[in-house]
A and B are shown apart, each in its own frame.
Chain A
């Protein structure tokens, strides 16, 4: 399993000329490895790790998560699932046809990651991705507040995506080195896609910040709305402590410096300040969610719950 380069300079201002105007720059972070030529958006089923492969490995017993690894997979899977559910709403409502496609792509990537993580998490007790997505109750979900935040206007969606993408990139980049081979495999695939998401959101941050007075005001507002939920992403707890000791995953707090540096570079180029807002306490990792999640789940789960046990 190859690991993308650790120097993450794709959003650095020095790269600007070749960077933000060029949608392909995002995948260059993975240069120098055998998979460097793989496209972020067109991964052939031949060498990609699909959710179905993980479900199969789990059912055959060739992949089985530890209790802690399963809990981590649940956390990351729920984050990605709820975000996919949010982003899917933009399809047919975006500002441009091109964005219907782009946001749809990002939603699809997130849904793919969610399915992989949940398939693996379910390996602990034999539950499927759909058992976990459709038949858990709200307090059993492990997503954090950021991913649950409503779409708002396009600027709020971009602000949320910007934070998510830079966080997920740092997270998956390290998780690709996990001692847990399945988590490493999921992360190695996901990091390439998330790299593209970083590029997409960074370009929009620059466009909106330097576009018109209105777009700048909306971008500033977007970050203000989203920033209270940044803190929770980097909070360590007992689980992450044990996972870190076992070499399964790093402590979330260790991602912060790179996150701050790289988002800071884009914000500086956009001539935006890091919003001075108070952090929300969160609690999603313990099942204490934002008020929004219940509605998201109600909509997502309604049909599956009308026909429990049915196959689709």
Chain B
């Protein structure tokens, strides 16, 4: 589909690259690049077996692993309320949701592994603080209503971001996103339902819902990333068909959706400047505190230390279990081999 004339160049060369003459290596890169360019022009897909520019590989690896880390760290604020969920049905839904996030982390780590980095190495980068994750998860989940606001706004923003990623040029990422988005849309609906129930409940419950919406609104908008004129990587990602819409474009679209839905909830968004610009046909919102955004990314958010420590603790406490499983698998394999030799 991608090309009639140009052929994919395998990512793993044979003979190995260091055994090639410089001329052969250069010719190979040129052929690979030509195929890659053709795929980009045709808006088709690159697969793990294909040659790809080193910068493309690096960008994807960073983005997919960050996305996976966000799912894993993102389990924590919601896991915080599993034990206290106020009804058994809500408890079941919340458990299933947090479990889904672990599943998303798994798909995404697997997609990233196809680019050549093992899960364990990515995990180490997360725990050492070298790799980033979405800064939204460094805010605390203070009340039950936060389960609603996170589902409705945070997962809502994630969907707005991720639906276009279903068409990302890297095959494994795009395919993972299809499944992730299906589950995320269920998550968003359950968040909306929590807020709806609260806003139609007692005055205290409604207040709890409003307070959560007030606290999560700005951080959710900032999930789309810095404004376009301050987003250095966006342009290249768009040229590579990874990103389809600019940060501001997605953010504005999201604000419009929130504005419609918040009316159904009977709540308000804490932003007096939201309006639909008739000239540009786009939604606009008030100023966001980008200084806070950069502070949280730099590690100075409310929960940065807590989230990472919890991940490290779980990882360290589980080390002996993983070692045992590996040792057992090895022994079983040896037994199996002995059996086969004997037979």
| Residues of chain A whose beta carbon lies under 8 Å from any beta carbon of chain B | 21, 51, 81, 84-85, 88-89, 91-101, 104-105, 107-108, 111-112, 114-115, 118, 129-130, 133-134, 153-154, 206-208, 210-212, 214-215, 218, 299-300, 302-304, 307, 310-312
Contacts and interface: CB of A to CB of B under 8 A. Distances in A.
B317 interface: yes
Contact of A21 (B75, B144, B319, B332): B332
Contacts of A92: 75-76, 79, 98, 102, 310, 314
Contact of A214 (B90, B99, B324): B324
Contacts of B197: 311-312
Interface of B: 72, 75-76, 79, 82-92, 95-96, 98-99, 102-103, 105-106, 109, 144, 194, 197-198, 201-202, 204-205, 310, 313-314, 317-328, 331-332
A91 B79 contact: yes
Contact of A215 (B88, B321, B331): B321
Given A96-B318, A97-B106, A101-B99, A215 B324 contact: yes
A208 B321 contact: yes
A88 B201 contact: no
B102 A95 contact: no
Nearest to B202: A310
B317 A108 contact: no
Contacts of A212: 320, 323-324, 327
Contacts, number: 147
A115 B92 contact: yes
29 contacts: A51-B89, A88-B82, A88-B83, A89-B82, A91-B95, A91-B99, A92-B79, A92-B102, A93-B310, A94-B318, A98-B106, A101-B103, A108-B95, A112-B92, A134-B86, A154-B317, A206-B328, A210-B328, A210-B331, A211-B328, A214-B324, A215-B321, A215-B324, A303-B144, A304-B86, A307-B86, A307-B204, A311-B201, A312-B144
B136 to A, nearest CB: 16
Contact of A107 (B89, B95, B325, B328): B95
Nearest to B91: A111
B321 A310 contact: no
Given A94-B314, A307-B202, A208 B102 contact: no
Nearest to B109: A97
Contacts of B319: 95
Contacts of A88: 82-83, 91, 95
Which 4 residue pairs of A and B lie closest in terms of their CB atoms, listed nearest first? A95-B318, A211-B324, A215-B324, A95-B321
B105 A207 contact: no
Nearest to B93: A108
B102 A215 contact: no
B98 A215 contact: no
Given A100-B75, A115-B92, A218 B86 contact: no
Contacts of B205: 307, 310
Contacts of B310: 92-93
Contacts of A207: 324-325, 328
B12 to A, nearest CB: 27
Nearest to B119: A97
Contacts of B321: 95-96, 99, 154, 208, 215
A306 to B, nearest CB: 9
Which of B82, B85, B314 gathers the greatest number of chain A CB atoms within 10 Å?
A: B82
B131 to A, nearest CB: 16
Nearest to B324: A211
B201 A96 contact: no
A107 B255 CA distance: 37
Given A130-B88, A310-B201, A214 B75 contact: no
Given A92-B76, A307-B86, A312-B87, A108 B92 contact: yes
Contacts of A112: 92
Nearest to B77: A92
Contacts of B89: 51, 115
Nearest to B105: A97
Nearest to A132: B88
A167 to B, nearest CB: 23
A189 to B, nearest CB: 15
Contacts of B202: 307, 310
Nearest to A214: B320
Contacts of A299: 83-84
A62 B79 CA distance: 37
Contacts of A129: 88
A127 B198 CA distance: 22
A103 B197 CA distance: 29
Given A88-B82, A88-B95, A96-B322, A101 B102 contact: yes
A304 B81 CA distance: 12
B72 A97 contact: yes
A100 B99 contact: yes
B307 to A, nearest CB: 10
